[in-house]
């Protein structure tokens, strides 16, 4: 075997080795769950979760399939995957496609322990215009419903298992911020799945995501392939046209599920500053429905924190007792938003 072939083989082998178990692991069962159902929260791997949230015992990550020409990767949302993804060039990211995993793959990884570790499950999905992964989970649990009920009875748990699927109407930092708030919702602590789902739908209506794409042309290509009419404002805003050459960097938004164009600039840093200023303006005007803001960046978090705009936002947030959460962008996020992008999410008060 030639050295080049040997190195390629070893790299390929190493990429298949996981430090985390492939399957959902069974957790110890608390008998009190018969009276107080335990509710879990699931988001997909395209959500820009922090490492702390991903490690929360009440959170599960629904893997997504990332495909390049000649390679398929099951993104489980781990820190290792994000580290590898940040090493990929934007040309490589531009050629990728994100899709929902197969029902069989989910059955292997998550069945039946997912249905034993929780009594109720809220599935918070990324905007369906980008990926519709919820159906795979719903179908998996439906296919194994009789077995799940039997296993739960054997472990002296309530036989019924409830799943609520909610469209976050958002992407990137949006579902991450919603999940953060839902984890502290009284409905989750009380085991009230229907109430939690209603709270999630309310958050979805009020969520705003602002985005400064690092490579707008990549966004036009990647989202254009999906051919979804809801994405047309972003595709058109990022398309390379003669009238946009001098102002090729758009400031994009997704508000309550509607995609739009907010502004155009001639430099990416100006677009990023507009995104940060949108969060600052919401704080100053008292328009935040929840005192938390989520930021994700496909780049050095340390460098991002040193930006004058971020320093000013951090100071303003502290003065108004608003928590600022900063994370790395997910691999799916890089595909949808393009490499070297900045995203901000906030929950705005409903208009009077």
Mind listing the pLDDT tens digit for each residue in 106-137?
A: 887 777 788 889 999 999 999 999 999 999 99
Query: 114 burial class (0-12, 13-18, 19+ CB within 10 angstroms)?
Result: buried
CATH 3.30.1180.10 in the chain is located at 206-347
- Determine the topology of domain 36-201 in CATH: Rossmann fold (3.40.50)
SS3 content of the chain, % helix, strand, coil (to 5): 45, 20, 35
Summarised one tens digit per residue, pLDDT across range 174-199 is 999 999 999 999 999 899 999 999 99
| CATH class of domain segment(s) 206-347 | alpha beta
Residue ranges of the chain that CATH labels 3.40.50.10170: 36-201
pLDDT above 90 coverage of the chain, percent: 62
CA 192 remoteness from chain centre: 24
Give per-residue pLDDT as tens, 12-70: 333 333 344 556 777 787 777 877 789 999 999 999 999 899 889 999 999 999 988 88
Express each pLDDT in 268-307 by its tens digit. 999 999 999 999 999 999 999 999 999 999 999 999 999 9
Q: Which two structure tokens, joined as six digits, stand for 193?
A: 């799945």
């Amino acid at each position: 075997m030639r050295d080049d072939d040997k190195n390629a083989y070893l790299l390929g082998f190493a990429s298949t080795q996981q430090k985390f178990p492939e399957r959902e692991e069974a957790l110890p069962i608390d008998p009190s769950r018969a009276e107080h159902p335990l509710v879990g929260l699931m988001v997909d791997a395209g959500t820009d979760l922090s490492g702390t949230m991903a490690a929360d015992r009440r959170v599960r990550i629904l893997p997504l399939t990332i495909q390049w020409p000649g390679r398929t990767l099951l993104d489980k949302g781990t820190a290792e995957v994000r580290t590898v993804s940040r090493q990929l060039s934007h040309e490589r990211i531009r050629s990728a496609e994100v899709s929902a995993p197969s029902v069989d793959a989910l059955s292997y990884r998550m069945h039946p322990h997912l249905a034993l570790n929780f009594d109720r499950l809220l599935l918070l999905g990324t905007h369906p215009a980008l990926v519709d992964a919820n159906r795979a989970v719903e179908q998996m649990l439906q296919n194994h419903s009789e077995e799940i009920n039997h296993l739960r009875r054997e472990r002296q748990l309530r036989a019924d298992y409830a799943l609520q699927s909610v469209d976050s109407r958002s992407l990137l930092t949006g579902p991450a911020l919603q999940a953060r708030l839902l984890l502290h919702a009284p409905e989750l602590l009380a085991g009230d799945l229907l109430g939690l789902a209603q709270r999630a739908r309310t958050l979805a209506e009020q969520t705003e995501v602002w985005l400064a794409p690092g490579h707008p042309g990549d966004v036009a290509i990647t989202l254009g392939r999906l051919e979804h009419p809801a994405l047309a404002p972003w595709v058109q805003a990022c398309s390379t046209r003669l009238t946009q050459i001098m102002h090729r960097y758009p400031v994009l938004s997704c508000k309550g599920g509607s995609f739009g164009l907010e502004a155009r600039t001639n430099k990416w840093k100006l677009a990023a500053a507009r995104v940060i200023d949108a969060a600052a303006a919401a704080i100053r005007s008292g328009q935040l429905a929840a005192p938390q803001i989520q930021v994700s960046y496909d780049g050095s978090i340390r460098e991002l924190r040193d930006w004058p705009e971020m320093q000013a936002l951090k100071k303003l947030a502290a003065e108004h007792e608003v928590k600022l959460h900063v994370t790395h962008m997910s691999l799916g996020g890089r595909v949808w938003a393009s490499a070297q992008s900045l995203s901000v999410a906030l929950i705005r008060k409903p208009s009077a």
